[in-house]
Structure 1
Amino acid sequence: MLPGTAPAGAAPAEAVIVLVCNGPGELATWVRPLARRLHRDVPLRPLAPAAAIDLQLVLVPCPNATGSEAQVARRMGLFSRVLPAERFWWLLLRPRRHGPWPDHGVVVFLGGDQFWTVLLSWRLGYRHLTYAEWVVRWPRWNDRIAAMGPQAAGRLARRWRPRCEVVGDLMADLSESARSDAPLPPGEWVALMPGSKRAKLQVGVPFLLDTADRLRAQRPGCRFLLPVAPTTSVEELLRYGGPSNPLQSSYSQGAPELREAAGARWLETPAGTLIRLVEEQPAHGALSQCVLALTTVGANTAELGALAVPMLVLVPTQHLHVMQAWDGWLGLLARLPLLSWLLGVALTAWRMRNRGYLAWPNISAGRLVVPERVGAITPAEIAAEALDWLEHPQRLEGVREDLRSLRGQPGAVAALSRLVRELLPAPRTAP
């Protein structure tokens, strides 16, 4: 059986909801919450095996994907079928090769290139809904449009606006799911978030371990946690923190070791700093209890913003030859064979000189809400800045309030679920 195909012998469904996604950030913060809400609102396979509607996930090609998104999605247990990105073109060419497709369905865009969902909905003959953060690129081919805010809705031509409804920011609902039944041990917790892609981990893991050592030396009561991204592993973190990582020698010497204590696993640095590993997904409960986060750029800045966790956003540019985890055509060009090193350095340096805001709270607000530290920064500098923030809790609370004001009201996931269900055919009634 091909990867992503439905189990043999399954009864045919009357309709299907197909969620479309590209990378790990969208999978964790958009797809998972919506899938859970849909299961809550209407009986769906696979959680309701006798239901008449399937919930499926299709992953689309993306240069920023890790390649493990399909495995992560299957572990969620929310989808009757998960189609990996490498099978997407085959799906367009030969849909029936991947199992039966009901006559009725809805394709929902939740990340990637919006054109892929246009193609998919056309090929399958299904209705089409786009969740748009900033712009709707193909309104003509959408039956409904769910806009994050008035900015995306206002960019639509007047003729397409009746199709659009402002539902709000899906990230705003993270605060509702962050109520943890397992509070962290008492202490001043700082989150370390090196990213989930190889290029970011190679720099971020040794950089943040060194930073944690220096911060603990100046503030011994400080405690650290590191959420393990679903697309990476503890073994990878150990490897990136050790001598097999060529960048590790630029930071503290020696490799971290894995420890188990108090019902959790910990990384212990050669300097003796303990870092609690948060392996449950999502890690919102633990993150929401942190007073500060040290993070790379990416979807994690949106998660932290939604949880109202103050952060320092870090882009150490002294390793430009490996910092090629950029979005769009720049990232694609930086991966060209033979020229990748030289081109990656040139493109990344150009982007650093001509950048706008990098953290999602700053992009959303159009101003600097959380600090962004870009350049040849050092762990010593970041530890000193983090110490200054921790010594001024009123400043941290001010940032927290700014983030809360940007977050918006919860309810976007429920509104998007409603729009999806409105596009489904009416259920059959018994004769």
Structure 2
Amino acid sequence: MPDSTAAITLVCNGPGELTTWVRPLARRLHELLPLRPLVPDAPFSLRLVLVPCPNATGAEHGVAEGWQLFERIWPAHRFWGLLLRPRRHAAWPRQGVVVFLGGDQFWTVLLSARLGYRHLTYAEWVARWPRWNDRIAAMGPAAADRLKPRWRQRCTVVGDLMADLSAQARDEAPLPPGEWVALLPGSKRAKLQVGMPFLLDTADRLAALRPGCRFLLPVAPTTSVQELLAYAGPANPIQQHYGTGEPRLERALPAPGSGTAPSPLAGGRALVTPAGTRIDLLETHPVHGALSQCRLALTTVGANTAELGALGVPMLVLVPTQHLAVMQAWDGGIGLLARLPILRWLLGVALTAWRMRQRGFLAWPNISAGRLVVPERVGAITPAEIAAEAADWLDHPAQLAGLRDDLRSLRGQPGAVASLAELVRGLLPPISAA
């Protein structure tokens, strides 16, 4: 007689994948199936396991808890104990599915084997362990074509999960009128330490060049307004290299209504620089609707470039290398070396020079296209240079429209989240009909 319950376990690592992959899929699964915790007596439960990742902030567990979509959530620091003795951490049904949505694919292979569950991998570029995947959901033909012929029957091309962001964004309320520019300094310490003073200085200079500009800063769910203020003020040693001074926090100005839907900025707060530049903070999530209405974005590298690309928002991708701290935010061996207390100072200059010579594309639209679609500004860049370039882009709306069209052509068609959810349902045991 079959077990009366089954568990769907999503596995993820960092903040970008959590908000753009895990959350949409979790919501779709709740629409498709009766799942605990939203349906208390349901035969299925939805669970989340976070795996160790150098790019995680440590706040992912709290963010996911706030969504109230999961019966249980395991933070990254408990992953090894969960892997070694899973039933010591929770009661696990005999049947279930483990879904890879970020991190190292091998950890989900091990977890599914340990639980005796079926396994599905969402592969952006490559499925590394097809022998142990019951199903593979490929982002596109490139990932599917890299599989050996004997594994291709397990693979379905579902599309880019982020392609659904634009469809969701259309349903959100409009921003107040204005020439909106988004500022995305990042969510990790090393990026915020450079990104906040750099972007505030850039905003001051851009506002002087184009007084009609309005600025929007989405507060990442894994950070806080208090952290942004700290990195923008004198407590941050990098701030002294920029001329903004310490901003103050104010209530956002009332937005004139353009319809019945309230502005996404209603009741919010804003940073105001000593020069008087107002930067509206967007503290609610998701932020895709507001971002999609921006003419231009100034952003660091990371998953935010994938989100902006999926929304079709033109962007300048910024990596100021004049501050060694920025290297601590990079991925891979370079980032690990730069974090070591002794080596980071001895090797900092050499690592920066080598990285600049050897680097490939950094922004996800460029990586995806294999060519330069959005500008990447890497090196000892200055706020004055970036403000001038941003003003030039804003002066040429036809060029911005062309860039937006290029990004939309890369995005693909919506529907990947629904297709992936169907694959998950197909791996569940027969009680799915109960």
TM-score normalised by structure 2 residue count: 0.94
Shift of 1:357: 0.7
CA deviations on 1:96-131 (whole Å, 9 max, x unpaired) are 121100000100000001110011011111100000
Please name the residue that 1:329 is paired with. Answer: 333
CA deviations on 1:78-113 (whole Å, 9 max, x unpaired) are 111110000000001111121100000100000001
Residue 304 of structure 1: which of 308, 329, 333 is its match?
308
Identity between Structure 1 and Structure 2 (%) = 78
Q: Distance in 2 between matches of 1:26 and 1:342?
A: 34
Letter in 1 for 2:393: W
Please name the residue that 1:115 is paired with. Answer: 106
Rate the CA distance shift 1:369–1:265 in 2: closer, same or farther, 3 A: same
Residue 59 of structure 1: which of 50, 54, 67 is its match?
50
Rate the CA distance shift 1:64–1:143 in 2: closer, same or farther, 3 A: same
Q: Distance in 1 between matches of 2:408 and 2:432?
A: 44
Please name the residue that 1:26 is paired with. Answer: 17
Please name the residue that 2:318 is paired with. Answer: 314
Q: Distance in 2 between matches of 1:253 and 1:394?
A: 32
Please name the residue that 2:258 is paired with. Answer: none
Q: Distance in 2 between matches of 1:20 and 1:226?
A: 29
Q: Distance in 1 between matches of 2:156 and 2:20?
A: 20
Please name the residue that 2:297 is paired with. Answer: 293
Contact 1:320 1:349 in 2 (8 A): no
Number of residue pairs the alignment of both structures matches: 419
Rate the CA distance shift 1:396–1:424 in 2: closer, same or farther, 3 A: same
Contact 1:321 1:344 in 2 (8 A): no
Please name the residue that 1:3 is paired with. Answer: none
Letter in 1 for 2:123: A
Letter in 2 for 1:188: E
Q: Distance in 1 between matches of 2:38 and 2:315?
A: 37
Indicate whether 1:383 and 2:382 are aligned.
no
CA deviations on 1:337-386 (whole Å, 9 max, x unpaired) are 43233345543432222111110001111111110000100000000000
Letter in 2 for 1:288: S
Contact 2:244 2:275 in 1 (8 A): no
CA deviations on 1:240-297 (whole Å, 9 max, x unpaired) are 0000000001012421111003222100011100000001111101101100000000
Indicate whether 1:196 and 2:200 are aligned.
no
What is the SS of the residue equivalent to 1:25? helix
Q: Which runs of 5+ in 1 are unaligned?
A: 1-11
Q: Distance in 2 between matches of 1:298 and 1:105?
A: 32
Q: Distance in 2 between matches of 1:260 and 1:394?
A: 35
Rate the CA distance shift 1:322–1:311 in 2: closer, same or farther, 3 A: closer
Q: Distance in 2 between matches of 1:54 and 1:383?
A: 49
Please name the residue that 2:413 is paired with. Answer: 409
Residue 222 of structure 1: which of 193, 207, 213 is its match?
213
Q: Distance in 2 between matches of 1:13 and 1:189?
A: 53
1:196-275 superposed matches below 5 A: 196-261=187-252, 262=254, 263-275=267-279
1:390-401 superposed matches below 5 A: 390-401=394-405
Contact 2:201 2:244 in 1 (8 A): no
What is the SS of the residue equivalent to 1:294? strand
Residue 39 of structure 1: which of 24, 30, 35 is its match?
30
Q: Distance in 1 between matches of 2:290 and 2:22?
A: 21
Please name the residue that 2:264 is paired with. Answer: none
Please name the residue that 2:287 is paired with. Answer: 283
Aligned Cα RMSD in Å? 1.4
Shift of 1:317: 0.7
CA deviations on 1:151-179 (whole Å, 9 max, x unpaired) are 00000011100000100000100001112
Higher deviation after alignment, 41-50 or 143-152: 41-50
Please name the residue that 1:48 is paired with. Answer: 39
Shift of 1:148: 0.4
Shift of 1:180: 4.2
Q: Distance in 1 between matches of 2:376 and 2:152?
A: 36
What is the SS of the residue equivalent to 2:328? coil
What is the SS of the residue equivalent to 2:96? strand
Rate the CA distance shift 1:365–1:66 in 2: closer, same or farther, 3 A: same
What is the SS of the residue equivalent to 2:152? helix
Contact 1:333 1:344 in 2 (8 A): no
Shift of 1:334: 2.6
Please name the residue that 1:187 is paired with. Answer: 178
Q: Which runs of 5+ in 2 are unaligned?
A: 255-266
Please name the residue that 1:154 is paired with. Answer: 145
Shift of 1:322: 3.9
Contact 1:13 1:54 in 2 (8 A): no
Please name the residue that 1:145 is paired with. Answer: 136
The structure in which a higher percent of residues are helix is 2
TM-score normalised by structure 1 residue count: 0.95
Shift of 1:335: 2.3
Q: Distance in 1 between matches of 2:244 and 2:310?
A: 36
